């Protein structure tokens, strides 16, 4: 995993900073609210986030997303902040292996 990307995401999470993220092989970027980073049972680092606009394979937005950190091709941390969603439950059984989160 790219350590610089991980550190930038950790900073964005702690500051509740909105991000623009472009994943490899995708034509456009995603507008995200990063909530945390975890390691899934397969050992992959995943970004847990709220996506409100931008590229989406499913087209269902806004919605929570789980994105592979190793697929991040570009990351821009904006000077905008987001409000914590009460829908986010870091204790939910689907979120195991947290490295950091809100």
46 in helix, strand or coil? strand
pLDDT for residue 1 is more than 80: no
Q: Which domain holds residue 65?
A: 3-101
Q: For the chain, how many structural domains are there in total?
A: 1
Please write the tens of the pLDDT for every residue from 46-100.
999 999 999 998 888 899 999 999 999 999 999 999 998 888 999 988 888 999 8
The Cα 17–Cα 14 span in angstroms is 8
Q: Are 2 and 9 in contact (CB under 8 A)?
A: no
Please write the tens of the pLDDT for every residue from 15-27.
999 999 999 999 9
CATH of the domain at 44: 2.30.30
85 to each of 16, 57, 100, how far by Cα in Å? 11, 23, 17
Q: Tell whether pTM > 0.85.
A: yes
Tell me which H or E stretch contains 7: helix 3-14
* Mean predicted confidence (pLDDT) in 3-15: 95
Please write the tens of the pLDDT for every residue from 68-83.
999 999 999 999 999 9
């Amino acid at each position: 995993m790219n350590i610089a990307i991980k550190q930038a995401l950790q900073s964005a999470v702690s500051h509740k900073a909105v991000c623009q993220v472009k994943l490899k092989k995708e034509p456009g970027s995603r507008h995200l609210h990063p909530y945390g980073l975890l390691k899934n049972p397969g050992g992959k680092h995943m970004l847990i986030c709220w996506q409100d606009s931008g590229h989406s394979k499913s087209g269902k937005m806004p919605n929570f997303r789980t994105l592979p950190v190793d697929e991040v091709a570009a990351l821009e941390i904006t000077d905008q902040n987001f409000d914590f969603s009460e829908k986010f439950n870091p204790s939910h059984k689907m979120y195991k292996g947290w490295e950091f989160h809100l």
